[in-house]
Amino acid sequence: MSYLLGVVLFALAILISVSLHEAGHMLTAKAFGMKVTRYFVGFGPTLWSFKRGETEYGIKGIPLGGFCKIVGMTPQDDDVEPGDEKRAMWRYPVWKRTIVMSAGSITHFALALIALWIIAVSVGLPNPKFPSTEAGFRAEPAVIAIAPCVVVENAARACESGDPASPAEKAQLKDGDRITAVNGKPVSTWGDMLDVVRATPPGTATVAYVRDGKPAEARVDLASVQRPPLGDPKGAASAVSALGVALSPSTPTRVEYGPVAAFGATADFTGTMAVQTAHAMQRIPQKVPALWNAITGGERDVDTPISVVGASRLGGEAVENNAWLVFFMLFVSLNFFIGVFNLLPLLPLDGGHIAIAWFERARSWLYARIGRADPGRVDYLKLMPFTYAVILIGGAFTLLTVTADVINPITLFSR
């Protein structure tokens, strides 16, 4: 029951986000004097509506988004009534049209930032002092926590009876010890320790450490285990050494902030998220074969894109496992991604309209400088084949992700 509640709550959060996206377009258009005739939540048949002023507001039967109708978005639109010619959107200065068309994405960014600020002051954001390294592990100091056992085979599972004890525990190392060297090779970070231990042959090794400010050494019998390469969890496993320790929880992975400091932390985290989003979007074409493989019976790669269906399912898992932080971080990530994606300079996305508006402005400026007549507005009808191609590709990709999320969904928790 809690899973279904989470799915519904996340789907509702997405619907509200998209509705606010359209409200951003509507409110900025009205503020500039443009004519907005319709604002609806959903698509399909109208369930309920009312008219206030010149705008009809309502709810439609298919809750998969929303829309607002701004009169005269392009010179080719024939929805401008006599007397409203000056209020057609395409006649307004380019900077006003840019604000109106970008208002939807700005709304998504605002929702993400507000949610991040709340998270920062309530439960905390990831500790910025310990960023991930290129190898995929953290750069924290090599302060250890003794693991209960060593899992010899390459398997992500909890300890079971019969698993060998931790070599570090047998050597009487303790939680909170900071490893400084292995067989004389210096260690300064957790990543260094993983590299050095794995490169050391299984068997007896000398481990230098610091406990309560005092240096000491221990003779440790390193275990032989099967592990994939660091930074490539999908790579082929090979025999490496293991110390039988985990990263000490004494180093906080999250930091809570006061109301004022949270603004700076939110901005820093948003910058990191922007870089990660850009990298994720660049990898989308490479992930299409992995999505198809997941549909046809292969293992679902957790790094593949998800649809609204997949995001809602993950939201359901988060609520089912009382992981509300995961729920809200999913909400943040999705809003940020939608905001960025919608600004891509492709029709019919908002970014496509913005790109054309500035292209027209730049072309008019250039022609004026070289003494030629202004070529006027771009003919959107000539761009329709390209627009249809974008819609077709986007629709096919959406269908692919939805199918994968139904047949072989990504899961964050064991159910």
Active site residues: 22
Q: Residue 396 corresponds to which tokens in the numbers above?
A: 């096919």
CA distance 357 to 326: 39
Q: For 215, phi and psi rounded to 5 degrees?
A: -75, 150
Q: Residue 63 corresponds to which tokens in the numbers above?
A: 């809750």
Q: Give the helix/strand (H/E) hosting 59.
A: strand 55-70
CA distance 71 to 78: 9
Query: How far from chain centre, in Å, is Cα 184?
Result: 42
Query: How far from chain centre, in Å, is Cα 368?
Result: 44
**Cβ 146 vs Cβ 169: under 8 Å:** yes
Residue type for position 75: P
- CA 374 vs CA 23, 91, 170, 360, 368: distances in Å: 34, 15, 82, 10, 7
Q: Residue 384 corresponds to which tokens in the numbers above?
A: 């329709």
CA distance 16 to 35: 23
Q: Residue 294 corresponds to which tokens in the numbers above?
A: 């997941």
**Other Cβ atoms within 10 Å of 306 Cβ, number:** 21
Angle between helices 261-282 and 284-295 (to 10 degrees): 70
